[in-house]
């Protein structure tokens, strides 16, 4: 009998550097799990696929379920179990916010000081995030975690700071995603970064392979990347989940990264794999939001409800079916987006 395949799903696609995700992945596996008395029983926890455009995060479904089960058991035994970890995380945000407010620097000693803060703080992020997306967590705990999630900008702000520092250190901003954690702040040459532009597969922050994810998947038939090889249908409309009801008609603006965010004009329809807090200025201009990914508690859904703007999430293919400049109708009553 053949071995059971490892299933990877893609819950996130965002404009993040590989460096920030590697800080998290290494700290999670090498620091946080030992603190909890745990050792990952999985060959791979997460795979990051990054291009100059953005990053895809592919999670080992069984691994995510395992850590959620472990944390759930401890929270059920003690509703205050997460509190010291969250307090430690929050205490680290204050010095990090000082760096964010002061802005990017090319001072290597300052960047190294900042990097040490990230190494400690990044794994602690998991101690509130994984329970927050687990609806089995007791309600009194979940209420607090959801409030942290609503306001937390740890990944978004750190990503912006790292990219801005990379630019000050002489690299082209568009290639900032492709800098590894071990290379920051000693940035490799532009020639090296340009060679990575077609794609880098990062494995748990410990290994990087310069290749496309499709090529990597074909090399590893024991892994299944759900939806990776799905054929994009040739259609003029897509369906998704209604996150905020309403109707809107406007011009498509595809937003996969912060550079494209600047192109959004008043009344455009923002179409994105998913949104993050740093997209807010563009979301304020847009008449409606459409995303490929996400559930009812995703960032786009939360912001749409706050702004009372029509929003359809989880369409899977919207960013591939529609193009910049297309005129579309967002029917967020029925969850349908049509090209006009």
One digit per residue, the tens of pLDDT, for the chain of length 340 reads: 345 789 999 988 888 899 999 999 999 999 999 999 999 999 999 999 999 889 999 999 999 999 999 999 999 999 999 999 999 999 999 999 999 999 999 999 999 999 999 999 999 999 999 999 899 999 999 999 988 987 888 998 999 999 999 999 999 888 999 999 999 999 999 999 999 998 999 999 999 999 999 999 999 999 999 999 988 888 999 999 999 999 999 999 999 888 888 899 999 999 998 888 778 999 999 999 999 987 777 889 989 999 999 999 999 889 999 999 999 999 999 999 999 9
Separation CA 4–CA 59 (nearest Å): 16
Please write down the HEC assignment for all residues of the chain: CCCCCEEEEEEEEECCCHHHHHHHHHHHHHHHHHHCCCCCCCCCCEEEEECCCCEEEEEEHHHHHHHHHHHHHHHHHCCCCCHHHHHHHHHHHHHHHHHHHHCCCCCHHHHHHHHHHHHHHHHHHHHHHHHHCCCCCCHHHHHHHHHHHHHCCHHHHHHHHHHHHHHHCCCCHHHHHHCCHHHCCCCCCHHHHHHCCCCEEEECCCEEEECCHHHHHHHCCCEEECCCCCCCCCCCEEECEEEECCEEEEEEEECCCHHHHCCCCCCCEEEECCCCHHHHHHHHHCCEEEECCCCCCCHHHHHHHHHCCCEEECCCCHHHHCCCCCEEEEECCCCEEEEC
**Cross-strand partners of 271:** 254, 290
Residue with tokens 């995703």: 298
The contacts of residue 310 (CB under 8 Å, 6+ apart) are: 244, 245, 246, 247, 248, 287, 288, 289, 304, 330, 332
The predicted pLDDT at position 293 comes to 85
Contact indicator for 198, 177 with CB cutoff of 8 Å:
no
Residue with tokens 């929003």: 311
Residue with tokens 């069984």: 62
CA dihedral 307, 312, 318, 321 (to 10 degrees): -110
The predicted pLDDT at position 3 comes to 57
């Amino acid at each position: 009998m053949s071995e059971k395949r490892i299933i990877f799903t893609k819950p996130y696609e965002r404009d993040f550097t590989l460096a920030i995700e590697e800080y998290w992945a290494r700290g999670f596996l090498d620091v946080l799990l030992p603190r909890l008395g745990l050792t990952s029983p999985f060959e791979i926890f997460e795979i990051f696929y990054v291009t100059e455009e953005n990053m895809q995060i592919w999670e080992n479904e069984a691994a995510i379920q395992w850590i959620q089960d472990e944390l759930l058991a401890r929270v059920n035994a003690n509703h205050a179990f997460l509190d010291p970890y969250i307090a430690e995380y929050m205490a680290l945000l204050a010095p990090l916010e000082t760096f964010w407010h002061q802005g990017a620097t090319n001072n290597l000693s300052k960047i190294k000081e900042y990097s040490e803060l990230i190494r400690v703080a990044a794994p602690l992020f998991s101690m509130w995030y994984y329970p927050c997306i687990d609806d089995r967590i007791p309600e009194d705990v979940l209420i607090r975690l959801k409030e942290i999630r609503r306001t937390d900008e740890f990944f978004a702000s750190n990503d912006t700071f790292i990219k801005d520092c990379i630019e000050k250190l002489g690299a082209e901003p568009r290639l900032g995603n492709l800098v590894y954690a071990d290379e920051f702040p000693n940035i490799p040459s532009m020639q090296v970064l340009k060679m990575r532009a077609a794609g880098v597969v990062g494995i748990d922050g410990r290994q990087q392979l310069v290749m496309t994810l499709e090529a990597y998947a074909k090399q590893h038939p024991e892994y299944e990347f759900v939806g990776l090889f799905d054929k994009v249908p040739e259609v003029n409309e897509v369906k998704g989940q209604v996150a905020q009801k309403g109707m809107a008609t406007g011009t498509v603006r595809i937003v996969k990264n912060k550079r494209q965010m600047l192109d959004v004009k008043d009344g455009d329809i923002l179409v994105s794999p998913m949104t993050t807090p740093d997209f807010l200025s563009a979301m304020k201009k847009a008449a409606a939001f459409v995303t490929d990914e996400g559930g009812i508690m995703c960032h786009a859904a939360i912001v749409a409800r706050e702004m009372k703007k029509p929003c359809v999430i989880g369409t899977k293919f919207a960013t591939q079916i529609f193009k910049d400049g297309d005129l579309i109708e967002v029917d967020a009553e029925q969850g349908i987006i049509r090209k006009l």
